[in-house]
Amino acid sequence: MNKNNGFSLSSALLATVLFPATTWADTPPPDQPVGQAPEPTAEVRPEIQAIANIGGVLTPKGTWVIEPSLQFSNSQINRLSFLGVEILETFLIGILEAEDADRNLISPALTLRYGITPRLEVEGRLPYIWRDDTLRATIPSVVSEPQVTRDLEGNGIGDVELALHYQMNAGSSGWPIFIGNVRYKSTTGEGPYDVPRNNEGIQTSLPTGSGFHAVEPSVTALYPSDPAVFYANLGYLYNFDEDVNTTFVVEGSDNQTIGNVDPGDVVRFSFGMAYSINSRASFSLGYKHDFIRSSSTTINGVSLSSSSLDVGSLLLGFSHRISDRLNANVNLELGITADAPDVGITLRLPYAI
């Protein structure tokens, strides 16, 4: 809210209050003959689209926005580890292991927004998840099976999300526009403790949801500076812990009973700029970072903790207004830190009714 398995705020359209219907030339139009209307000297500024998952000025009162979208994400991990003793730089005694993981995610989704008042908007999002992972591990010291390959898939409904966005001020007198957001993520997707496992306790398919309820409050700031809009977002994702109380039967070993699981909360921030090219096109550039705190899991009465993660990504966005009601937005996410997905591409088609 997803790493990218988490969730984040879905963006709304930046309304025309940022760039009202006026020309943006710095000089007045030339004199015209009496009785003849002057010709326009410049195009009207468009509704600039903020980068996805940041937020924007809200949907007008009584207006519906239907937004189908399609997301693709890819992560590749190549890791070489050694357990043993190094006598010389070229002479190792121990176990050498090479691990390669290739993870793909495709997620079509449908988002609905409705303007309840000029400053209050409600939003709902229904995603479908398709995941495909290929995991390879090579251990040269093992003669019988030096290489192990596993292919896993998972598909189904993801975690449904509901959100409210409230515009706190009008952004007058040189102040930024502040948007308060709160988002709830359900557990409609199949969680990691719900997927089937083999007699060795290894999962045989991939989950489509996180398996835990979550709430994320956040604040978005938008500052128009013609012909651009600067934005920033600060949020906190709180994951509710849960008593899983599930026992996995492992052949040839003791059964593993999962007790209380507390997923790590996430502190996230993002910032950037959206720039208007002309009356129909705009692009945006930004950065987002998630500090994912360690999670704890109780297994057979023993509490185990994971390490914290830093997920940072560079964001690029492109928007084109097809008509007065339809926009096409393409967002590109490039992972910068080691724990971030390598690349993510999202196509969004918001349509106002």
Residue 327 lies in a domain: no
b/e per residue 125-147 (b: at least 16 CB within 10 A):
bebebbbebeeebeeeeeeeeee
pLDDT of residue 262: 93
Residue 94 lies in a domain: no
Residue 172 lies in a domain: yes
Residue 112 predicted with pLDDT over 60 = yes
How deeply is 271 buried, as exposed, middle or buried, from its count of CB atoms within 10 A (0-12, 13-18, 19+)? middle
pLDDT of residue 110: 98
Q: Are 316 and 83 in contact (CB under 8 A)?
A: no
pLDDT of residue 142: 53
Q: Are 18 and 226 in contact (CB under 8 A)?
A: no
For a pLDDT cut of 90, what percent of the chain falls above it?
Answer: 54
| Residue 304 belongs to domain spanning | 105-132+152-319
Residue 99 lies in a domain: no
Least confident among 61-75, 82-96, 254-268, 282-296: 82-96
What 3-state DSSP class applies to 266? Answer: strand
pLDDT of residue 25: 36
pLDDT of residue 136: 80
pLDDT, tens digit, 9 for 90 and up, residues 140-197: 655 556 677 889 999 999 999 999 999 999 888 889 999 999 999 999 999 998 888 8
The span from the CA of 331 to the CA of 322, in Å, is 17
Residue 137 predicted with pLDDT over 50 = yes
What does 206-263 look like in DSSP terms, one character per residue? --SS-SS-EEEEEEEEEEEETTEEEEEEEEEEEEPPEEEEEEE--TTS--EEEEEEEP
DSSP letter at 350 equals -
Residue 138 predicted with pLDDT over 80 = no
pLDDT of residue 7: 38
Q: Are strands 351-352 and 256-262 parallel, antiparallel or unpaired?
A: unpaired
Average pLDDT, the chain: 81
pLDDT, tens digit, 9 for 90 and up, residues 186-239: 999 999 988 888 877 778 899 999 999 999 999 999 998 888 999 999 999 999
Number of domains making up the chain:
1
Q: Are strands 242-248 and 281-292 parallel, antiparallel or unpaired?
A: unpaired
Give pTM, 2 decimals. Answer: 0.79
Residue 339 predicted with pLDDT over 70 = yes
- Number of Cβ atoms within 10 Å of the Cβ of 171: 18
pLDDT, tens digit, 9 for 90 and up, residues 14-40: 433 333 333 333 344 444 444 454 444
Considering only residues 201 and 91, tell me which one the structure prediction assigns the higher pLDDT. 201
Residue 179 lies in a domain: yes
CATH of the domain at 235: 2.40.160
pLDDT of residue 54: 56
Residue 339 lies in a domain: no
Mean pLDDT of all residues in 312-331: 94
pLDDT of residue 56: 60
First to last CA, the chain: 28
Token pair in block for residue 197: 């496992």
User: Which range in 80-94, 128-142, 159-173 is most confidently predicted, on average pLDDT?
Assistant: 159-173
The pLDDT confidence band at residue 95, using thresholds 50, 70 and 90, is low
How many helices (H) and strands (E) are present in the chain, helices listed first?
0, 18
Residue 95 lies in a domain: no
Residue 334 lies in a domain: no
The span from the CA of 254 to the CA of 250, in Å, is 6
Q: Are 156 and 195 in contact (CB under 8 A)?
A: no
Residue 9 predicted with pLDDT over 70 = no
